[in-house]
Structure 1
Amino acid sequence: MNANPKKTRVVAISSRGGHWIELLRLREAFSDQDVTYVTTVPEYRTMVEGCKFQVVTEASRDTKFRMAIMAFQVLWILLRIRPAVIVTTGAAPGFIAIWLGKRLGIRTLWVDSIANAEELSMSGQLAAKHADTILTQWEHLSSDRIQYHGAIV
């Protein structure tokens, strides 16, 4: 029996603000894994001291060229790291990672924002078509495909 089992490589990715804060609240779940955090704000590195950290371009559906740049950056990160799992709380970088990861055979997990109480976020609705697992933080939004296990607090 191996006393030092190989850690699972995880890419934990999100955009700025509330998405990042929710991703950080999941940090304990990855504590024994080989995690690389990815976001759009270089200054967030200090929030994950001692962890691997990458930055991608800030973009949205309104900035198509920047979105293409971000997609290439995320693809490069996924090809270099070769994670077993992608975990995201959204928005644009998370959706791109889910979409690319699915095509690369990487397991994917989308955790939709608690801010979206009436329906899944737009990114979440898009990601739901591609992610292996989709979690909502609102019980009434759960379905056969979308799971509820509680809120991130």
Structure 2
Amino acid sequence: MKVCLVSSSGGHLTHLIMLKPFWSKHNRFWVTFDKEDANSALQGEKVYHCFFPTNRNIPNLFRNTVLAWKVLRRERPDLIISSGAAIAVPFFWLGKLFGAKTVYLEVFDRIDKPTLTGRLVTPVTDRFIVEWEEMLNVYPKAINLGSVF
């Protein structure tokens, strides 16, 4: 199985790194920002750098959509996993066109309100995971796995 892990740097990337027991067993590549923390954490991993800032930035949404098309066409992942933020949107939507399954992990600090990214990827997400029981009221079809941390 080939896995694409997509996130902004910082806490979102930390969320995905915490899933190492899963992704370390698979052929994988990452999509994240070209920032010192991300480059340090992903040293030795295959990484594609996306454009930032992403949140509410229409020009970078367009650039990242083009990037997503190119990367997904080249890599053909079976599974795309993200914990946000906005970089997940083009990868999830285009990933479905390429036949990928998608898993979204809503961020830990959201206890009873959705994120914008969560709302935007819900229609194309195969498994939506939350970390708080209260979030099942926000995302009724989600799966509560508890804290990743």
In the superposition, the TM-score normalised over structure 1's length comes to 0.88
- Quick one: which amino acid aligns to residue 52 of structure 1? K
The residue that corresponds to 1:93 in the other structure is 87
Does residue 151 in structure 1 map to residue 147 in structure 2? yes
SS in 1 for 2:87: helix
CA-based RMSD of the aligned residues comes to 1.4
- Partners of 1:51 and 1:61 lie apart in 2 by 25
1:60 is displaced (CA, Å) by 2.9
Instruction: Determine whether 1:78 maps to 2:72.
Output: yes
Q: 1:53 Cα deviation (Å)? A: 1.1
Q: Percentage identity across aligned positions?
A: 23
Give unmatched runs, 5+ long, in structure 2: none
The separation in 2 between residues aligned to 1:62 and 1:127, in whole angstroms, is: 15
| One-letter amino acid of the structure 1 residue matched with residue 96 of structure 2 | K
Query: Which residue of 2 is the match for residue 122 of structure 1?
Result: 116
Of residues 75-84 and 139-148 in structure 1, the stretch that sits farther from structure 2 once superposed is 139-148
Which protein shows a greater Rg? 1
8 Å CA contact 1:84–1:107 kept in 2: the answer is yes
Q: Is the 8 A contact 2:105 2:130 kept in 1?
A: yes
Deviation at 1:46, TM superposition (A): 2.3
Question: Hey, what does 1:104 align to over in structure 2?
Answer: 98
**Stretches of 4+ moved more than 6 A in 1?**
none
Q: Indicate the SS of the match to 1:150.
A: coil
Give the CA deviation at 1:62: 3.0
Q: How many residues align?
A: 146
**What SS is found at the alignment partner of 2:129?**
strand
CA distance in 1, matches of 2:62, 2:77: 21
One of 31, 39, 46 as aligned partner of 2:32: 39
* Match in the other structure for 2:20: 27
Match of 2:58 among 64, 72, 77: 64
With 80-89 and 21-30 compared, the bigger mean Cα shift is at: 21-30
User: Gaps (5+ residues) in structure 1?
Assistant: 1-7
The separation in 2 between residues aligned to 1:59 and 1:68, in whole angstroms, is 12
